[in-house]
Amino acid sequence: MPRFRFSEWLAIGYFLYVAAIAPFFVRAPWRPLVLAAAIAGLFWLAALCRPVVRDFAPLAAALVAYREMEWFTPAVQDHHLERVWVLWDRVLLDQYGLRAAIESAGRVLPEFLELCYVLVYAVAPIAVWVLYANGKGLRARQFWVAYLAATLGAYALFPYFPSEPPRIVFPGLDMPHVEAMVRNVNMMILGGYGIHSSVFPSAHVSSAFSAAWALLVILPEKRWIGCSFAGYAVCVAIATVYGRYHYGADALAGFAVSLVAFPALWVAGAANGGLKSAAG
């Protein structure tokens, strides 16, 4: 019988947590429990496959976790949080001139930021590929601990902060003045796959930064890789606010949640060390 990795237990624990709080938020609270069992089955089957399959299985769990949050969409949104957050954004975008600075070079930066936003979905598989390319494929399980802790950590807070993105709550207001072509791709993805339960914290930001933190820890001899991912994550945070996908408060909270990657890596390392000692 295969044993679950720490990252897999982390994901299963998250889905069980969602099942535990579901009776307070959803009409069919049995569905999250069934989903938790299905995720455990997914990891069990992945453990029977080749290691490379198992190394990418957590990505499927993260995608399922995101879609599951759609079940937590409240019947009525009063937007009391958004009305406060948007005021802070207007200070950042207008008074501090963030929008004008981004658009000062024409379409270049708006297109670049939209591209950064759409590439977030590929951050995890790219990071795992980087580990394989640098001879650190066995450390992929460590990467997933950091990534899942931050990404699922953001999703775990969604039910308590029901909210919708500024482009929906305030249509036509505070929008970019430059229409980037890549934006059409982002809108298409969000239109078909987006959820409406919450935007706080930003999981885009938390996942991007967590990938950077993981690579900095796993590849200390090549810090430029982790630093590059961190620089990219900063661009993602800016893109979420400029493109009106998120509020500045979401991006800031997403960064804060990403820091859970560090204690998660430490706990995972301590747990694995304990298991090895016991086995010895």
Residue 60: CB atoms within 10 A of its CB come to: 14
Average of per-residue pLDDT values in the chain? 93
Residue 3: its pLDDT value, please?
87
Q: What is the mean pLDDT of residues 121-143?
A: 95
Q: What is the mean pLDDT of residues 100-124?
A: 95
Distance from C-alpha of 165 to C-alpha of 125, rounded to nearest angstrom: 26
| Segment 134-153, tens digit of pLDDT | 999 999 999 999 999 999 99
User: Worst-scoring range by mean pLDDT, 125-129, 176-180, 246-250?
Assistant: 176-180
Distance from C-alpha of 72 to C-alpha of 82, rounded to nearest angstrom: 18
Distance from C-alpha of 226 to C-alpha of 210, rounded to nearest angstrom: 10
Q: What are the domain boundaries of the chain?
A: 78-279
Residues 124, 62 contacting (CB under 8 angstroms): yes
Residue 260: its pLDDT value, please?
97
Distance from C-alpha of 211 to C-alpha of 203, rounded to nearest angstrom: 12
Name which residue leads in pLDDT, 191 or 209. Answer: 209
Residue 280: its pLDDT value, please?
32
Task: Give yes or no for residue 243 having a pLDDT over 90.
Answer: yes
Model pTM? 0.93
User: Worst-scoring range by mean pLDDT, 48-52, 70-74, 214-218, 244-248?
Assistant: 48-52
Torsion of CA 26, 35, 137, 224, to 10 degrees: -10
Residue 92: its pLDDT value, please?
97
Helices 140-157 and 123-133: angle between axes, nearest 10 degrees = 160
Task: Give yes or no for residue 34 having a pLDDT over 90.
Answer: yes
Residue 279: its pLDDT value, please?
33
